[in-house]
Amino acid sequence: MRIALRTRRHRLFAAGAATALCVGLGFAVAAPANAKPADNPSTWNADLSTVDPASSNVVTDGGMLRLGDQQARAASAYSNLRTGFAVFAPRTLPAESNTVSAIMDGTVGQGAEVAVDVRGLRKDGSWSEWTEVRPGQPAVLDRPTSTVQARLMLSAADGAAGPEVRRVELSSSTTSARPSAQVVLEGGGLTYKVFATREGLVGGTTANGHVIVERDHFVALPSRRGLSGKGSGEYSVRVCGDTKRCEWAPVWDVGPWNTKDDYWNPSDQREMWKDLAQGKPEAQAAYNDGYNGGKDQFGRKVANPAGIDLADGTFWDGVGLKDNSWVTVSYSWTGSDPAGTVKTNGGPVNVRSGPRLGDSVAGLAAHAAQVRVECQVKGDPVDGSQGSSDIWYRVAADKFLAKAYVAGASGVRDC
């Protein structure tokens, strides 16, 4: 349901989807637009005067942030919406906290929407999921943290004036409330079998601002909670087909079908569809069981049970699919094994069945993808982006990736 605004000028507290597809807007307690936060280290204003390189299709003008003029839009969602987001610098808190609230001042017109998401840095260096701050409902992170980060999501329908934000005030605190999105950590991450479709759409722009190229390597999930920033892969998945091939790829788009269906989370923590079993996408339930009248969250008739979209290169070259198919997906940010980031010249790197260059290729790891490392062994020396090394990481059963292409993994045990 879309809640339209009847006035253009107001103090706003937004809650909505990055692609502006299912958003409600509420109102915060009134205060002067130029008000400063209290003298409290747990309250701060986001810096709207600069645009972080990880942001997409937003511009700043005299400390006011607005949606850019580029036709950036989520490739998997409705095509009549311009989207953008601003990522703010991480904030070190005076004490560990697990709750973040926000107040925003700005202008939002008919057909335009805005929201704020936050996340926390875990002790192993990984980030929790992005969690939306809602009116009267602060975001409760999955554990206390001393570092948080916020991002602002903006969108507007074609022909509508984009939203403008003049101030974002954030506050941290501690609560005993249950997390807004609680992810159960396992070795390599939560794993579910879901139906995969090929995204295609070469030349289109994903929800994080990436322009899709031929035989690209990324995936789309139907919730922005696991959406990585442009060019990054802090939220990545391992996708394996019946071909026994797998690809590790970053999440760079939102879709298919829904945009608020974080089906990998516990049922009562899902953004929507809380009566569905954990691991079951709403589109799958709609298509197979007639759930929600067989429709997605926007009232469209669901034509397939897809819970993930794969870019062409991931679909054809990484997983080796020839048609839409069931795949097994692991969500890396829900794992606890040591995490590393794949670094290449832009293309994917081979994952082999053993630690030798002569071992068969068992899949691919995309540039920027996060991989969870089970253990390490010695094998053939490899020269890569991270130097020369004869260490190979086992990233799944019978799947090995040369350490020379992986940055940041620490504390890896021997196999």
Encode pLDDT of 274-323 as tens digits. 999 999 999 999 999 999 999 999 899 999 999 999 999 999 999 999 99
Please state the rounded mean pLDDT for residues 337-343: 96
Q: What is the pLDDT of residues 186-236, one digit of tens each?
A: 788 899 999 999 999 898 888 888 999 999 999 999 999 999 998 999 999
The confidence score (pLDDT) of residue 243 equals 87
Q: Does the structure show a pLDDT above 80 at 35?
A: no
Q: Are 382 and 404 in contact (CB under 8 A)?
A: yes
The confidence score (pLDDT) of residue 209 equals 87
Q: Which domains does the chain have, with CATH numbers?
A: 9-173 (2.60.120), 183-409 (2.40.40.10)
Q: Does the structure show a pLDDT above 70 at 77?
A: no
Q: Does the structure show a pLDDT above 50 at 9?
A: no
The pair phi, psi for residue 344, each rounded to 5°, is -135, -170
Q: What is the pLDDT of residues 84-119, one digit of tens each?
A: 889 999 999 999 999 999 999 999 988 888 999 999
The confidence score (pLDDT) of residue 405 equals 98
The confidence score (pLDDT) of residue 74 equals 53
Q: What CA–CA distance (Å, rounded) separates 303 from 295?
A: 9
The CA distances from residue 242 to 195, 246, 314, in Å, are 12, 9, 14
Which residues, at least 6 apart from 359, have a Cβ–Cβ distance to it below 8 Å?
352, 353, 400
Q: What is the pLDDT of residues 375-405, one digit of tens each?
A: 999 999 999 999 999 999 999 999 999 999 9
The confidence score (pLDDT) of residue 18 equals 29
Q: Which two tokens stand for residue 148?
A: 């948080």
Q: Does the structure show a pLDDT above 80 at 370?
A: yes
